[in-house]
């Protein structure tokens, strides 16, 4: 069969992303999940949709605005995709609020956790709310009347605002009938009341309810006819011409403030908003009725994410756990370098602790024998023990080199701040390669031992971020293997210096060899199958979109190769289609932890090649990013990756969603006695003693 496939054999990326959010929202519907965790899933879905509109929908609208008619691998134009996206997004958001109002809120109320609506406040609650408004809210508000001297204010991306309809004359005799009130971001969106006032253990009131009830205080002597909350989502893509800039950091610092005021892409309003205000807002933000989302409840459900942290009800949350530590590192003050010299160490987060990574760099920072430390930084957070250790190392006179990715979406400001602090203490700070995001996760320590320099490396599938290491599944590998260390050193040299690409010993690297090697490995399985041998590919990743890779997998399937794909998010491949992909299965795992590991397994005639990577199988990862994919060479660790990272997920019948050839997903529903949940089993195997 020719190696050419039609657009009908690929699925649309944006629609696939909405399907992923349906799976997340299904977690909020699942009564078997602890109640406060269900609320979190509802918030996560909202957060995901915010980014979806800020980036993906914004990109479609920009493409249409510029007159682009290009199509993706699926053959759909931006106009066609946007039409489908709007239809499905409206359905998804409507379902989300229905779930919040008819299931989550009543269930929380039955547990003494209530959202107090202003229409149900008693006299004591009214008094408390008014006092709170006068003390905490009114002093920081700046209501803006709309008239020729007061044009419509600039509205921040995703901020809470109120459109107010008024009647009467103000102090200057003006007949202004409309005003905008912007809620400063310093104000909490949900306020916890004292139990004696709320009448329940945990009584919350929305800031929007307090402002609605007292908005008249802001417009003395005038009659308030209506007050309607709204929120606008804006294009948050940063536009930095990397070919023109002389200093990427300075250019980015100039661009970041404008992110909050990009073109509007979505307008959310209260469902009781008047037609006049609706028309005013649509006109102001240059949007169409298709971009309007009427919601019954808070316009920003993401802000409810703080509720579980304010409620001391462990019975309504996932059981707490202590991440495990490999036996070789359990001894207090264990010499990391001595342990790694003896054998490679594999960490499986979050089931195993991220602390050994912090210990490794802190030991390196204080060890007199360490002469140099090199690290890539993509996302590390505003508060990072790792970064503080790098700063301490530089202060102690060690050669510290940090490759900071300034264009890590939504982490740009934190990364700029770290870059500034590192430079202040004499560290070498570089920003990778213009036009290619540095997404590789690498940490290298150079130590003088017995008169010679010895290298130690940590490579990972996830970011150097202690907080997300408790929430995301990832693998990290410590090794002193000379070939792998030499490869890592070569990649660091590419990032900081100039020169031609050199062939690496073991690492596959984007944008040079990763795509070629993945295709070669897939085609090798295809050839083995054609020669009568058994071919098997198992790949786990966040997204599968790159057309040539998908085409190679189709070829492999037709040759008889068994292909098992575990793709958390978007998958453009159609599995199980007769004559095309009947030997391919695709599943998505949605559970307590965000599945983030990238694992590639090729049977290779019983050699069982296993690779871990920072990259998904997407165009951007293959061609527009610096990525590394590294082999697991130790046989015991290789078996661990296969068992923990692949087999456990293929056997999961509890949190797995199986995908069909039309891109639809079916949730596995096992018998109670036959339940197999990969994440729960791995917690049992690898985590330490529970704290609950």
What HEC string does 137-173 produce?
HHHHCCCEECECCECCCCCCCCCCEEEEEEECCCCCC
Of the candidates 503, 524, 554, which is a domain's last residue? 503
Q: Which residues touch 491 (CB under 8 Å, ≥6 apart)?
A: 440, 442, 504, 507, 509, 626, 628
515 as an active site residue: the answer is: no
Residues 103 and 197 in one domain: yes
CATH of the domain at 357: 3.30.870.10
Residues 16 and 53 in one domain: yes
Does residue 344 contact residue 633 with C-beta atoms inside 8 Å? yes
Q: Which has the minimum average pLDDT: 219-223, 437-441, 569-573? A: 219-223
CATH of the domain at 113: 3.30.1840.10
Radius of gyration of the chain measured on its C-alpha atoms: 27
Residues 302 and 341 in one domain: no
**Distances from the Cα of 469 to the Cα of 24, 377, 593, 680, angstroms:** 20, 15, 10, 17
Residue 599: alpha-carbon gap to chain centroid: 18
As a whole-number percent, the residues of the chain with pLDDT over 90 amount to: 76
Q: Is residue 31 part of a domain?
A: yes
Residue found under tokens 């030997």: 583
Q: Is residue 448 part of a domain?
A: yes
Residues 303 and 398 in one domain: no
Q: Is the per-residue pLDDT at 245 higher than 50?
A: no
Q: Is residue 379 part of a domain?
A: yes
**Distances from the Cα of 589 to the Cα of 67, 594, 655, 665, angstroms:** 38, 9, 6, 11
Residues 40 and 88 in one domain: yes
Count: domains in the chain: 3
pLDDT tens for residues 26-70?
999 999 999 999 999 999 999 999 999 999 999 999 989 888 676
Render 224-249 in DSSP notation, one character per residue: EEEEEEEEEEE-------TTT-S-HH
Of the candidates 264, 286, 316, which is a domain's last residue? 316
Q: Is the per-residue pLDDT at 690 higher than 70?
A: no
Q: Is the per-residue pLDDT at 240 higher than 80?
A: no
Give the H/E segment covering residue 541: strand 536-541
Does residue 635 contact residue 563 with C-beta atoms inside 8 Å? no
**Mean pLDDT in residue range 317-334:** 91
- Dihedral pair phi/psi, residue 211, rounded to 5°: -70, -40
Q: Is residue 493 part of a domain?
A: yes
Residues 589 and 646 in one domain: yes
Q: Is residue 1 part of a domain?
A: no
CA dist 284 and 282 (Å) reads 6
Q: Is residue 2 part of a domain?
A: no
CA dist 542 and 553 (Å) reads 17
Model confidence at 410, pLDDT cuts 50, 70, 90, reads low
* Domain extent for 601: 509-686
pLDDT tens for residues 259-286?
456 899 999 999 999 999 999 999 999 9
Residues 497 and 522 in one domain: no
Residues 274 and 179 in one domain: yes
Does residue 678 contact residue 599 with C-beta atoms inside 8 Å? no
Residues 366 and 311 in one domain: no
- Dihedral pair phi/psi, residue 541, rounded to 5°: -160, 180
Q: Which residues touch 84 (CB under 8 Å, ≥6 apart)?
A: 12, 14, 15, 76
The count of other CB atoms within 10 Å of the CB of residue 515 is 21
pLDDT tens for residues 422-433?
889 988 888 877
Q: Taking the CA of residue 458 as centre, how many other CA atoms within 13 Å lie in the half-sphere pointing to its CB?
A: 27
CA dist 665 and 21 (Å) reads 12
The count of other CB atoms within 10 Å of the CB of residue 195 is 12
Residues 139 and 47 in one domain: yes
Q: Is residue 321 part of a domain?
A: no
- Strand ranges of the sheet holding 202-206, from the earlier edge strand across to the other edge: 113-115, 202-206, 190-193
**Mean pLDDT in residue range 385-403:** 92
**Marked catalytic residue, from 348, 439, 458, 596:** 439
Of the candidates 503, 523, 549, which is a domain's last residue? 503
Q: Tokens representing 590?
A: 């949605």
Residues 108 and 228 in one domain: yes
pLDDT tens for residues 534-581?
999 999 999 999 999 999 999 999 999 999 999 999 999 999 999 999
Q: Is residue 692 part of a domain?
A: no
Residues 450 and 575 in one domain: no
């Amino acid at each position: 069969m020719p190696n050419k496939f039609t657009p009908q054999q690929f699925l649309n990326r944006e629609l696939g992303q909405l399907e992923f959010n349906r799976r997340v929202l299904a977690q909020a519907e699942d009564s078997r999940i602890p109640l406060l965790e269900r609320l979190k899933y509802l918030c996560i879905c909202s957060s995901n949709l915010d980014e979806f509109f800020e980036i993906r929908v914004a990109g479609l609208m920009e493409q249409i605005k510029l007159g682009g008619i290009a199509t993706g691998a699926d053959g759909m134009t931006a106009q066609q995709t946007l039409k489908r996206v709007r239809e499905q997004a409206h359905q998804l958001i409507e379902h989300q609020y229905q779930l919040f109002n008819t299931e989550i809120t009543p269930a929380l109320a039955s547990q003494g956790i209530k959202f107090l609506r202003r229409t149900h406040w008693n006299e004591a609650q009214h008094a408390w709310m008014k006092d709170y408004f006068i003390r905490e809210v009114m002093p920081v508000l700046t209501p803006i009347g709309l008239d020729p001297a007061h044009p419509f204010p600039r509205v921040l991306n995703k901020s809470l605002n109120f459109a107010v309809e008024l009647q009467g004359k103000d102090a200057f005799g003006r007949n202004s009938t409309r005003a905008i009130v912007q809620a400063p971001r310093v104000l909490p969106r949900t306020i916890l009341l004292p139990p004696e006032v709320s009448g329940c253990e945990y009584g919350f009131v929305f800031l929007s309810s307090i402002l609605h009830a007292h908005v008249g205080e802001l417009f003395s002597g005038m009659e308030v006819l209506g007050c309607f909350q709204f929120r606008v989502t804006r294009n948050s893509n940063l536009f930095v011409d990397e070919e023109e800039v002389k200093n990427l950091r300075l250019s980015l610092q100039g661009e970041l403030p404008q992110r909050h005021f990009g073109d509007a892409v979505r307008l959310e309003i209260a469902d009781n908003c008047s037609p006049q205000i609706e028309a005013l807002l649509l006109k102001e933000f240059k949007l169409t009725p298709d971009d309007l989302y009427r919601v019954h409840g808070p316009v920003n459900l993401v802000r409810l994410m703080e509720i579980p942290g304010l409620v001391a009800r462990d019975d309504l949350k996932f059981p707490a756990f202590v991440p495990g530590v490999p036996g070789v590192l359990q001894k207090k003050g264990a010499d990391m370098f001595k342990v790694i010299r003896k054998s490679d160490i594999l960490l499986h987060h979050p089931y195993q602790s991220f602390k050994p990574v912090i210990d490794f760099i802190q030991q390196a920072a204080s060890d007199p024998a360490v002469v140099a430390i090199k690290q890539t930084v993509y996302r590390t957070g505003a508060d990072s023990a790792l970064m503080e250790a790098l700063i301490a190392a530089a202060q102690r006179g060690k050669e510290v080199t940090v490759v900071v990715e300034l264009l890590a979406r939504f982490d740009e400001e934190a990364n700029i701040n770290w870059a500034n602090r590192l430079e202040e203490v004499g560290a070498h700070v570089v920003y990778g390669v213009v036009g290619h995001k540095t997404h590789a996760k690498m940490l290298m320590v150079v130590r003088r031992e017995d008169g010679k320099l010895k290298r130690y490396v940590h490579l990972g599938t996830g970011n150097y971020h202690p907080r997300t290491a408790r929430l995301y599944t990832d693998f990290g590998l410590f090794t002193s293997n000379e070939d792998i260390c030499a490869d890592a050193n070569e990649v660091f040299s590419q990032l900081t210096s100039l020169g031609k690409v050199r062939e690496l010993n073991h690492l596959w690297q984007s944008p040079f060899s990763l795509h070629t090697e993945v295709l070669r490995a897939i085609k090798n399985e295809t050839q083995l199958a054609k020669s009568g041998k058994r071919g098997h590919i198992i790949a786990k990743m966040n997204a599968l979109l790159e057309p040539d890779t998908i085409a190679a997998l189709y070829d492999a399937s037709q040759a008889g190769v068994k292909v098992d794909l575990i793709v958390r998010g978007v998958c453009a491949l159609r599995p199980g289609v007769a004559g095309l992909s009947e030997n391919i299965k695709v599943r998505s795992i949605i559970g307590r932890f965000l599945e983030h590991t990238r694992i590639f397994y090729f049977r290779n005639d019983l050699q069982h090649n296993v690779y871990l990577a920072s990259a998904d199988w997407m165009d951007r990862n293959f061609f527009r990013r610096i990525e590394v994919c590294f082999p697991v060479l130790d046989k015991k660790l290789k078996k661990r990756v296969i068992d923990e990272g692949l087999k456990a997920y293929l056997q999961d019948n509890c949190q797995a969603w199986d995908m069909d050839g039309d891109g639809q997903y079916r949730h596995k529903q096992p018998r109670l006695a036959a339940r197999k949940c990969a994440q729960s089993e791995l917690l049992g195997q690898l985590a330490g003693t529970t704290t609950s």
